[in-house]
Structure 1
């Protein structure tokens, strides 16, 4: 039985997912991302510094647990919004007895992926 991490183009890296889920700040960010939010909104909702939010959102994005969902346009600048895009995570063994992680993505995400507000 192999304990190597399974990864492919459509399967998130097991180690990235486990590291993100083992991090309390990441779990808190996932909990507040029920709808698209900017980095500043996430920082305010979690009472965490912007630098922490940027790092954690990078880790969550790499793990496939959070996605960029359109932006908010203010003047010339567009602020990216993030949303948790998962309904369920399962970890198990594949046919070759290698650990594998599957993330069931939210079916609601396409609705938010093209949202852009202009001010």
Structure 2
């Protein structure tokens, strides 16, 4: 069940009792996250954005991907809720987008009735980013 990133709205996360663990609800939303994680380029982008926020050009260079592919993968990961797009401020006034990984862990569970669950542990945001 593969869908293009433009056909799927952003994945919605429901808060659990724990402030840093969220549950992805709905079969389509779960599938969207799993599709993103199944893509080797997306996993490489998640690794490249795990320590520092990077621009699309920086991600493209770090992952050795064409820029057009990088933008498609960034959109897929952002829509899946695995990356966050932020604005990088510049002293010249020319601001740009930057991307940073928002998740630490993703846990998939299968219930007895074949129901699938997906829990996502969010990364702690540094104090400077709050």
Which TM class, normalised by the smaller chain length?
A: 0.7 to 0.9
Unpaired segments of 5 or more residues in structure 2?
A: 1-10, 15-22
Query: What do residues 6-36 of structure 1 show as CA deviations (whole Å, max 9, x unaligned)?
Result: x755344211111111101001000110211
2:70 aligned with 1:56, yes or no? Answer: no
2:103 to 76, 86, 101: 86
| Contact map agreement 2:46 2:101 (CA 8 A) in 1 | yes
Q: Figure out how many residues of one structure are paired with residues of the other and give that number.
A: 107
2:59 aligned with 1:42, yes or no? Answer: yes
* Larger RCO (CA within 8 A; separation ≥ 6): 1
Unpaired segments of 5 or more residues in structure 1?
A: 1-6, 114-119
Please report the RMSD computed on the Cα atoms of aligned residues, expressed in angstroms. Answer: 2.4
Give the 4+ runs in structure 1 shifted more than 3 A. 93-97, 109-113
Deviation (angstroms), 1:101:
1.0
Other-structure match for 2:32: 16
Query: For residues 60 and 73 of structure 1, do their structure 2 counterparts lie closer, same or farther at Cα, with a shift above 3 Å needed?
Result: same
